[in-house]
C-alpha cells in the first residue's frame, strides 16, 4: 500500500502544479479548452487578470496576451491627392487589445504581427480616401488662425502675396487624422477586437521632382517679394535724397542771401567811410588811390604798359609833392 501512495502523491502533485498558472503584470490570459476559447455564462471570453489562477490540467491551455498600448509604426506609403500629385506619408497607430477572445480568433491564435498587418490595411484604406479628396496645401497645413496678422515695423499690415496665400489656406491635417481615427475605430473593434487609441501623421514628404518644383516656385515668389521691397526701398531713398537736396539748397540759398546782404551793407559802409575820408583830405585820398593803382599795375612782371611819363597817372612819381608833371 505504501508503494502505491508514493506514485499517487507524485501524480497528484503534478496535476496540482499543472492546474496552476500565473498571469504577469500588464498581460491578460485566456484559456483554450479543446481548441475553443473558454467563455463565461454570458458567452463572453473569460479573461484572467494578473495573478495566480487555476485550470484543468491536460485539457486547458493558457494563452497570455499583452494588454498594454502597442505602437504600430508602419512604413512610409505613397498617396495621391485630388490634384493627382503624389505625397509620401509616414504615420503611426497606438492600439491595444479590448476583446481578447475576438483578437485571438481573428489573428489566428493571438499573433500580433497578423493583427498589425490587418490594422495597417484598414488605416491605409481610410487614409487614402482622405488624402484623395484634398489638395497638398490642405494636407500639410494645420487649422487657419486669422486672429493675429503679422505687422511690419511701421505698423502697416503685411500684404505680400505669400502672406495672403498663407491666410487663405484652411489646413485640414488635424481633421484628416481625426477622420482616420473615427473611420477605423469601429471596424477594428468589430473585426479584430482592438481599440485604436490614436493615429498621427508624423511626416509628410513629397517626391523629389515635386519638391524641386515647389522649391523653385517658393524661391521665385520670395525673389518677387524681395524685388518689390528693393523697389520700394529705392523709391523711398530717392524721396529722402530729394528732400535732403532740397533742404541743402534752401540752406545754401539762405546763406548766400545773408552773405550778399552782409557784403552789400559792408560795401556801403566802406564807401561811406571812403567818402568821409575823401571829404576830409581829398589830396591824401587821391594819393592812396594812386598807390593802390601802382600796386595792381606793377604786380606782374610780364605786364607791359605803354604810357606817357608825363601823364597824370605818374604824377606822384614825377613830383614828390604830388603836383602834376608839366
Instruction: Please give the distance of CA 14 from its chain centroid, rounded to a whole number.
Output: 70
pLDDT tens digits along 64-104:
888 899 999 878 888 988 988 888 999 999 999 998 888 88
What are the cell numbers at 42? 454570458
pLDDT for 22 equals: 87
CATH of domain 70-147+159-206: 3.30.479.30
pLDDT number for residue 52: 87
- Tell me: the pLDDT tens digits for 197-208? 999 998 888 877
Distance in angstroms (rounded) separating the CA atoms of residues 26 and 8: 37
109 burial (CB, 10 Å; 0-12 / 13-18 / 19+) is: exposed
> Which grid coordinates are listed for 147?
486672429
Residue the block writes with cell 515647389: 214
Where do the structural domains in the chain lie, given as residue ranges? 2-66, 70-147+159-206, 221-280, 282-326
pLDDT band (50, 70, 90) for residue 149:
very low
Position 117 pLDDT exceeds 60 = yes
pLDDT for 159 beyond 50: no
CA dihedral 80, 83, 85, 86 (to 10 degrees): -30
Residue linked to cell 488605416:
123
**Could you give the C-alpha distances from 24 to 33, 53, 100, 125, 152, in angstroms and in order?**
21, 11, 16, 36, 62
Q: How far apart are CA 265 and CA 115, in angstroms?
A: 109
Contacts (Cβ under 8 Å, ≥6 apart) of 161: 221, 224, 225
Amino acid at each position: 500500500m505504501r508503494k502505491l501512495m508514493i506514485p499517487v502523491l507524485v501524480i497528484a502533485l503534478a496535476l496540482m502544479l499543472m492546474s496552476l498558472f500565473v498571469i504577469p503584470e500588464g498581460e491578460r490570459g485566456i484559456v483554450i479548452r479543446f481548441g475553443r476559447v473558454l467563455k463565461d455564462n454570458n458567452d463572453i471570453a473569460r479573461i484572467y487578470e494578473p495573478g495566480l489562477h487555476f485550470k484543468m490540467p491536460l485539457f486547458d491551455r493558457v494563452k497570455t496576451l499583452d494588454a498594454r498600448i502597442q505602437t504600430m509604426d508602419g512604413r512610409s506609403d505613397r498617396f495621391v491627392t485630388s490634384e493627382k500629385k503624389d505625397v509620401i506619408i509616414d504615420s503611426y497607430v497606438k492600439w491595444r487589445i479590448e476583446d481578447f477572445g475576438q483578437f485571438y480568433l481573428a489573428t489566428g491564435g493571438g499573433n500580433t504581427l497578423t493583427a498589425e498587418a490587418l490594422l495597417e490595411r484598414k488605416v491605409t484604406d481610410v487614409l487614402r480616401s482622405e488624402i484623395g479628396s484634398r489638395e497638398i496645401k490642405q494636407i500639410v497645413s494645420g487649422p487657419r488662425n486669422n486672429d493675429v496678422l503679422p505687422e511690419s515695423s511701421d505698423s502697416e499690415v503685411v500684404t505680400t502675396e505669400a502672406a495672403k496665400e498663407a491666410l487663405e489656406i484652411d489646413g485640414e491635417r488635424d481633421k484628416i487624422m481625426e477622420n482616420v481615427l473615427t473611420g477605423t475605430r469601429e471596424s477594428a473593434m468589430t473585426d479584430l477586437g482592438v481599440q485604436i487609441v490614436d493615429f498621427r501623421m508624423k511626416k509628410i514628404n513629397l517626391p523629389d521632382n515635386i519638391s524641386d518644383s515647389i522649391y523653385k516656385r517658393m524661391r521665385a515668389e520670395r525673389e518677387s517679394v524681395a524685388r518689390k521691397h528693393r523697389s520700394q526701398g529705392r523709391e523711398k531713398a530717392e524721396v529722402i535724397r530729394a528732400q535732403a537736396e532740397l533742404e541743402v539748397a534752401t540752406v545754401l540759398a539762405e546763406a548766400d542771401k545773408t552773405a550778399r546782404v552782409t557784403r552789400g551793407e559792408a560795401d556801403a559802409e566802406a564807401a561811406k567811410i571812403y567818402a568821409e575820408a575823401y571829404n576830409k583830405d581829398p589830396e591824401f585820398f587821391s594819393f592812396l588811390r594812386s598807390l593802390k593803382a601802382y600796386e595792381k599795375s606793377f604786380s606782374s612782371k610780364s605786364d607791359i604798359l605803354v604810357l606817357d611819363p608825363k601823364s597824370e597817372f605818374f604824377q606822384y612819381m614825377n613830383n614828390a609833392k604830388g603836383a602834376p608833371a608839366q
